[in-house]
Amino acid sequence: MTSIKHQSTLAIVTGASRGIGKAIAHEFLQRGINVLGVARSFTATPAATNATFIPCIADITNPDDLQRVLEAAQQTGMTVTALVNNAGTLNPIAKISDVDVDAWRQSFEVNVVAVIALTQRFLPMLRASNGRIINISSGAATSAYQGWAAYCASKAALNMVTQSLAMEEPQVVAIAVRPGVVDTDMQTAVRSAGEGAMREDQFAKFQTLYKSGALLQPEVPARAIVRLALEAPQSMSGMFLNWNAPEIEQFIK
């Protein structure tokens, strides 16, 4: 597959109003790629000079809203070349013995089911463009954290969805990316709600990262994610990669 640098191309980014999603949208725009940004609300939109940002207010767990996202993309007349499934939730932070099962269902609705539903809608466009699907995963997909069972399990499921897409969709590249520990609202939630539900040493680790200034800024993993969304070869499809994995430098020059 070749790099995508044409101004009639469009990337779809969920959770685009803040954090990593907003940084990803900005990076696409900087590279001249138009963005349809999906979020439940926008207080501000990324500035763009050589590309267009199109805000689309939607709840990704609502099928009618997802249909509107698809129609908004179709109405642009642009070629959809990338889908970045970034929106996600850490909630509920609770031990399995204490958790509300309905909160687990909601976690999987956001982190897994909505990803599948949105991917289904855009697959015809992505097949036609030999496009790429980037699913934002987590290190928690492979390492358990007390109190994060819903998040860990849903991100592990997302990794398997990515591997399955790679097997089933040879015209599309699908990659799951661990963005690292990023300074976003999710880390704020860990610090405010994790004490007691999380194991003491695990909670302390995140507190220390914050206090020492070691959290990544969203722009750092966003650059790697956009590179993958624009340039990743078919040989990388199905991979679960850290944002700074050597494979990115090896395969993408």
Residue 122 lies in a domain: yes
Q: Is the pLDDT of residue 184 over 50?
A: yes
Q: Is the pLDDT of residue 120 over 80?
A: yes
Determine contact, residues 225/133, Cβ cutoff 8 Å. Answer: no
Q: Give percent above pLDDT 70 in the chain.
A: 96
HSE of 116 in the Cβ direction (CA atoms, 13 Å)?
Answer: 14
Residue 93 lies in a domain: yes
Among residues 17, 129, 137, 138, the one annotated as catalytic is: 137
Q: How far apart are CA 253 and CA 251, in angstroms?
A: 6
Q: How far apart are CA 35 and CA 56, in angstroms?
A: 10
Residue 197 lies in a domain: no
Query: What is this structure's pTM?
Result: 0.92
**Residue 137 designated active-site:** yes
CATH code: domain of residue 101: 3.40.50.720
Burial of 139 (0-12, 13-18, 19+ CB in 10 A): middle
Residue 190 lies in a domain: no
Q: Per-residue pLDDT averaged across 28-48, rounded?
A: 90
Q: Is the pLDDT of residue 46 over 90?
A: no
Q: Per-residue pLDDT averaged across 185-201, rounded?
A: 82
Q: Which residues pair with 72 in a beta bridge?
A: none
Among residues 107, 129, 151, 237, the one annotated as catalytic is: 151
HSE of 15 in the Cβ direction (CA atoms, 13 Å)?
Answer: 23
Residue 56 lies in a domain: yes
Q: How far is CA 96 from the centre of its chain?
A: 25
Determine the pLDDT at residue 219: 95
Residue 28 lies in a domain: yes
Determine the structural domain holding residue 24 and report its residue range: 9-182+218-244
Helix (H) or strand (E) holding 39: strand 34-39
Question: Strands 173-178 and 53-57: what pairing?
Answer: unpaired
Which carries the bigger pLDDT value, residue 183 or residue 118?
Answer: 118
Residue 210 lies in a domain: no
pLDDT in tens, 76-98: 999 999 999 999 999 999 999 99
Would you place residue 4 in the very low, low, confident or very high pLDDT band (cuts 50, 70, 90)? Answer: very low
- The length of the chain is 253
**Residue 155 designated active-site:** yes
Residue 187 lies in a domain: no
Question: What is the total count of domains within the chain?
Answer: 1
Would you place residue 193 in the very low, low, confident or very high pLDDT band (cuts 50, 70, 90)? Answer: confident
**Residue 210 designated active-site:** no
Determine the pLDDT at residue 234: 96
